[in-house]
Structure 1
Amino acid sequence: MSIAKFQGIIPAFYACYDDKGDISEARTYELCDYLHGKGVQGVYVGGSSGECIYQSLEERKAVLGHVARRLQGKMTLIAHVGAPSTRDSVELAKHAADLGYDALSAIPPIYFKLPDSAVYRYWSEIIDSTPLPFIIYNIPQTTGYTLTTSLFRKLLENPKVIGVKNSSMPVLDIERFKNAGGDEVIVFNGPDEQFVAGRIMGAGAGIGGTYSAMPELFLQADKLVRNGRFAEAGAIQSDINDIIIALCSLDGSMYAGIKEVLRRRGVNVGGVRSPLEDISGEDAARIDAIVRQIDEAAVKHGA
């Protein structure tokens, strides 16, 4: 199966709420149009940035539908369908397939500590539920489960498994997964703070939660890596990291801060859902400074 359509910069899509905190079709379309206009290669819908664990099954289906109606045929669409139960994950997977998504992805099961055999069965049931290609999602810092290369190789025996979104922090993991999968498997860099390093070590693309706040910078970094201009790409990464550190220093959730950055850009996607914390009054000045950082970095690097 070709992995050509799964290259480049793929922002993790944010949950878009109305002023009452409900899923907003209009604001979802607004974010779709913004990202399409920026020239990103795809979107990853319903993951951590999409606040999936705080949404009902019906809400998650609605979001998948809104994005598909707006962006299908315009860019690559990846549906994250991981849920607390295999049954719900399979239901989401079938829904995404019916909507015409290009691929599925899922975190491992959460809360209970499960053996590899149970995790393998969980992913396999999702994979076997549709004809779509599948991307494993490894994010041990939030799920408590670390994907091993041995389980990765076992999952790759299914031809529908085309890669892994690796969000563990060691860049070594990207190299190991790429080494295990070879040229026909794509590894997505997960940690935005190491995008350039991850690409150099074998990641063919990136899926990230801060991409929408500064898509120009990640697109330019990706272009420079593809052209072998690693020192220049590293300089962009340094400025990206300064911005990420500033976003993480806000009193409210980083996602709330990013949504406020987008609001300053004219894209209103609402706030965040409790128990995530919204920004405080003291965050406003910090966000002004973050927007300036992004603008200055874009000019500096010709992004």
Structure 2
Amino acid sequence: MLNKFKGIIPAFYACYDDAGEISQERIIKLSQYLYGKGIKGLYVGGSSGECIYQSLAERKATLKYVAESLQGKLTLIAHVGAPSTKESVELAKYAEELGYDALSAIPPIYFQLPESAIEKYWLEIMNSTELPFIIYNIPQTTGYNLSVSLLKRLLKNDKLIGVKNSSMPVMDIERFKAAAHEEFIVFNGPDEQYVSGRLIGADGGIGGTYGVMPELFLKAEEFIATGNFSNAREIQHDINDIIIALCSLNGSMYSVIKEILKIRGINIGSVRGPLEALHGEDLGKAEGIKRMIDEAIEKYQMA
């Protein structure tokens, strides 16, 4: 059963119309575009989905439209982390109604809570549905780094099947794998270390830049699966050059990604404030980054 959670799973981007409201049409278009690339699944409503800047109703709408577009075609993971346990549980139950394959959540945000409160939060989400659960560990934004001791306690709940690990040390992936049972899934989170994350034990990846260059991550996974580690290192180098370029402009990385997708004919709007939209002369620079992606795709098509 857990094999469906392995592989390349893009984090789904927030899709807005020109007025900045959730767009059903654009959600469906992005869903179908990514499905056509041969990805394994989608992680819906997480950081790339701008979840903390959306209302509960907007988040439900995104979950609904993605499910209607792709249910039964891809593995769908719903990120339900929210400011309160009440909202998180409401999102979890709604995702279960929609037929999602699993739930995931960051730890509680804003207040610096003791680990006991974080444990209770995740357990309440887990116990609110029959769906399997994946911890989202992203300490650089939440201020909490999942401890091995908490992981071991939470593993007493059979619904916990994995961790989406976005901490930068790849050792964390190895430690989480070592602490759990053989079938426990660990996803590599930082796209900059996909290859090293996989080699140290990650079963696959969930990433925010996969959606703008799925071909490269799918090829990286192919290299790893076939033992072609020289090409795997080389493609990671090229991916990292692209990620650095995506983060080099005056605007959120996601605004750059969305501009590149728009150039490709996939218009999903811009980003929601306080994320900064791409503007000025940087709008033209997105074309250059798109060329970097296209050249890398062409480079590895015959590899």
Give the TM interval when normalised to the shorter protein: over 0.9
SS in 1 for 2:301: coil
1:281, distance to aligned residue in structure 2 (A) = 1.9
Aligned residues: 302
Partner of residue 265, structure 1: 264
Partner of residue 16, structure 1: 15
Partner of residue 128, structure 1: 127
2:284 is equivalent to residue 288 of structure 1? no
Once the two structures are superposed, what CA deviation does each residue of 1:266-285 show, in whole Å capped at 9, x if it has no partner? Answer: 10100100111110121123
SS in 2 for 1:301: helix
Q: Distance in 2 between matches of 1:98 and 1:76?
A: 15
Once the two structures are superposed, what CA deviation does each residue of 1:182-228 show, in whole Å capped at 9, x if it has no partner? Answer: 32100000000000000001000100000011000000001111111
Which range moves more in the overlay, 182-191 or 95-104?
A: 182-191
Q: Distance in 2 between matches of 1:225 and 1:114?
A: 39
RMSD: 0.8
Q: Distance in 2 between matches of 1:284 and 1:96?
A: 36
SS in 1 for 2:266: coil
Partner of residue 56, structure 1: 55
Gaps of 5+ in 1: none
1:75, distance to aligned residue in structure 2 (A) = 0.3
Letter in structure 1 aligned against 2:125 = I
Q: Distance in 2 between matches of 1:131 and 1:182?
A: 20
SS in 1 for 2:205: strand
2:232 is equivalent to residue 203 of structure 1? no
SS in 2 for 1:28: helix
Aligned structure 1 segments of 4 or more residues deviating by more than 2 angstroms: none
SS in 2 for 1:78: strand
Gaps of 5+ in 2: none
2:179 is equivalent to residue 180 of structure 1? yes
Identity of matched residues, %? 67
SS in 1 for 2:86: helix
Once the two structures are superposed, what CA deviation does each residue of 1:96-138 show, in whole Å capped at 9, x if it has no partner? Answer: 0000000000000011111111000000000000000000000
SS in 2 for 1:38: coil
1:1-303 aligned at under 5 Å gives the runs 2-302=1-301
1:262, distance to aligned residue in structure 2 (A) = 0.5
Letter in structure 2 aligned against 1:56 = S
Letter in structure 1 aligned against 2:8 = I
Once the two structures are superposed, what CA deviation does each residue of 1:232-287 show, in whole Å capped at 9, x if it has no partner? Answer: 11100000000000000010110000001111111010010011111012112321
Letter in structure 2 aligned against 1:226 = A
Q: Distance in 1 between matches of 2:142 and 2:169?
A: 16
Q: Distance in 2 between matches of 1:117 and 1:263?
A: 44
TM-score norm. by structure 1 comes to 0.99
